[in-house]
Amino acid sequence: MPAVPMIELWRGGLLESVHMGHAVICDETGQVVQAWGDLDAVIYPRSSCKMVQALPLVESGAADRHGLTDAHLALACASHSGAAIHTQTVERWLAAIGLSESDLRCGTHLPWDNETKNSLVCSGRQPCQLHNNCSGKHAGFLTYSRHIKAGPEYVEPDHPMQQAVRAVFEELTGLPSPGWGIDGCSAPNFATTVHGLARAMAFFAAARETGDARERAAHRLVRAMGANPVLVAGEGRACTELMRAIGGRGAIKTGAEAVYVAILPEIGRAVALKIVDGGTRASEAAMTALLVHLGVLDPAHPVVRKFLDVELRSWRGLHAGEMRRAPGFPA
Amino acid sequence: MPAVPMIELWRGGLLESVHMGHAVICDETGQVVQAWGDLDAVIYPRSSCKMVQALPLVESGAADRHGLTDAHLALACASHSGAAIHTQTVERWLAAIGLSESDLRCGTHLPWDNETKNSLVCSGRQPCQLHNNCSGKHAGFLTYSRHIKAGPEYVEPDHPMQQAVRAVFEELTGLPSPGWGIDGCSAPNFATTVHGLARAMAFFAAARETGDARERAAHRLVRAMGANPVLVAGEGRACTELMRAIGGRGAIKTGAEAVYVAILPEIGRAVALKIVDGGTRASEAAMTALLVHLGVLDPAHPVVRKFLDVELRSWRGLHAGEMRRAPGFPA
């Protein structure tokens, strides 16, 4: 089954661009409730699976041992904007475990937060690894690595940290990973299918506070994300605004190249989607459409006009067109 | 015929994302030499047809009457970066015809040129309409409008300026336009097919210095673009670097939502392409691939590694994957 049209851009009454994708909604057991495109398409989850990458940190007891709060755990699952609220928390976290910015292996990029970026650029300062959107995930990797007394090169694929990630990733997706690649932050990213990714999210959606260590860890991560939407992304970003819009009733996470997942414990559903061309505007729109479809997002909420039914305007403010769902998507 | 895969992104030995598109190569008469996808797909050329929008300016004698140089004409066909070299020339041009920035109707956005943007942001100054990537096109619109003594609201669809654009656009594409939309700069943008757009570019490729007024105008615009690649876009931009790489042997122009055209008089060929998802990384890559395919771009030229065979690296510089041609594209 090929990818199906999901998001369209219209201008002057004509279709200008279209984004195709694969998506699946699972129930709490990982069974498919509804699907579009090819369930078995192999994808890289990229940052959408950060809560899986953070699971060893919590399940092992390392998070409790080091007194990590929900804010720390939200940052461990974040692709954050590199604003002060993010970088300062990660910096203090590293200090608390006796480490510093130089122990990170995520590399450096300009922060996405405009104010922080402009402050750096205008003062002639360089960004550091704390500004990397993955610095919280890496702080989590370092915390786990210290906990198990493993070496400092925690992004090496054969490091126990990454071996632990691979093991839990394959268990939760229900499939051996068909391969791995190097993510932007230099950590391995394990491939799976769209269904595999949704199945992993279903585990998180089903995880109870009263379950075993892994379930409790998953439950806590979802709670931490839902309770700290601005730490998971940043002001104005889709993950943050969508989590706020659904009133903290779950966790929603983007990944590079247009992957998106949602964990919705209250309704017992999990979602994974991939726009095949990697266009983030479309993955944000498609996730917004699916949240409305699933009844957790009010179609009249302003985020729907911000991320899905977006009005296209000229630089002088003239109406030019709109982004919208493709016919038949999601229903 | 549906769109065909053109550009792929690979990571860790697995296909991560793919861009589909339509493309056509025409000879000087507008006949199809080779095509991919649906020739008859209706598209908005967006900024890729700026040389068509500039044709009335030259053909009417307005350009000569006002002493416009090739630099002015390159800017009339440009989606420029808003660097000083662009904005100062447009500002002086407007002054020379007794007008100023406030007569523009293109609206304002931050310039794409990083140095200029940072200079504005860090000094707390606001961009003006001169920074709009279309300000040269609009200066051309204003010059023509003055020449024919038409009113100041030159982007209104019923203004003689836009009526002139529509007429020449339909003549050169060989088709009545099936509709129009408002472009980012508030000017009407007329739709056509991929073949129609390539046919218009074929007119430019065939236009001789010794032809009639329209041919001479088209010839001059192509020469002006090819001789001023940095004015058509800006340092580091694909149009600029690709035109330099082919040694000025034609004009190459991008349009928003991943349209790209090439006018190649020396080999008697014209190209038009549209990536259906609107992803500019792919339209730049696909155009690069077609220029190599047509023999006008050396496959060993550094631009090929910059825009087509792009190595993907992590923020720490680790090799992560690559962008490349899809199998069968272009040959």
- CA pair distance A43, A276, nearest whole angstrom: 9
Whether residue A65 lies inside any domain: the answer is yes
Q: Which residue has the tokens 């010059």?
A: B143
Please check the confidence at residue A53 and state whether its pLDDT lies above 90: yes
Using the Cβ of A104 and the Cβ atoms of chain B, whether some distance falls under 8 Å is answered with no
pLDDT of residue A18: 98
Question: How distant is the Cα of A94 from the closest Cα of chain B, in angstroms?
Answer: 20
Contacts of B84 (CB under 8 A, 6+ apart): B116
Question: How distant is the Cα of A267 from the closest Cα of chain B, in angstroms?
Answer: 31
**Cβ proximity of B142 and B104 under 8 Å:** yes
Whether residue B331 lies inside any domain: the answer is no
Whether residue A50 lies inside any domain: the answer is yes
Please check the confidence at residue A119 and state whether its pLDDT lies above 90: yes
Chain B partners within 8 Å of A175 (Cβ): none
Q: Quick check: helix, strand or coil at residue B1?
A: coil
Q: Do B279 and A279 touch (CB under 8 A)?
A: yes
Using the Cβ of B156 and the Cβ atoms of chain A, whether some distance falls under 8 Å is answered with no
Amino acid letter, residue B23: A
Q: Which residue has the tokens 């004509």?
A: A14
Using the Cβ of A184 and the Cβ atoms of chain B, whether some distance falls under 8 Å is answered with yes
Q: Is A149 left (phi over 0), alpha (psi -120 to 50) or beta?
A: left
Please check the confidence at residue B331 and state whether its pLDDT lies above 90: no
Whether residue B225 lies inside any domain: the answer is yes
Please check the confidence at residue B156 and state whether its pLDDT lies above 90: yes
Amino acid letter, residue B315: W
Q: Do B181 and A14 touch (CB under 8 A)?
A: yes
Average pLDDT estimate for B109-120: 98
Whether residue B305 lies inside any domain: the answer is yes
Domain total in chain B: 1
pLDDT of residue B165: 98
DSSP state letter for B250: S
Using the Cβ of A17 and the Cβ atoms of chain B, whether some distance falls under 8 Å is answered with yes
Whether residue B60 lies inside any domain: the answer is yes
Mean of pLDDT over chain B: 98
SS3 string of A247-275? Answer: CCCCEEEEECCCEEEEEEHHHCEEEEEEE
Please check the confidence at residue B221 and state whether its pLDDT lies above 90: yes
Chain B partners within 8 Å of A43 (Cβ): 16
Q: Do A107 and B282 touch (CB under 8 A)?
A: no
Question: How distant is the Cα of B289 from the closest Cα of chain A, in angstroms?
Answer: 18
Whether residue A331 lies inside any domain: the answer is no
User: ipTM of the assembly?
Assistant: 0.98
Nearest to B312 by CA among B11, B3, B5: B11
Please check the confidence at residue B61 and state whether its pLDDT lies above 90: yes
Q: Which residue has the tokens 């129609």?
A: B196
Chain B partners within 8 Å of A116 (Cβ): none
Please check the confidence at residue B248 and state whether its pLDDT lies above 90: no
Q: Which residue has the tokens 């989606």?
A: B79
Q: Quick check: helix, strand or coil at residue A14?
A: strand
Whether residue B43 lies inside any domain: the answer is yes
End-to-end CA distance of chain A: 17
Closest chain A residue to B109, measured at CA: A315
Q: Do A179 and B42 touch (CB under 8 A)?
A: no
Please check the confidence at residue B1 and state whether its pLDDT lies above 90: no
CATH number at residue A311: 3.40.710
Using the Cβ of B95 and the Cβ atoms of chain A, whether some distance falls under 8 Å is answered with no
**What is the extent of the structural domain holding A302?**
4-325
Question: How distant is the Cα of A206 from the closest Cα of chain B, in angstroms?
Answer: 29
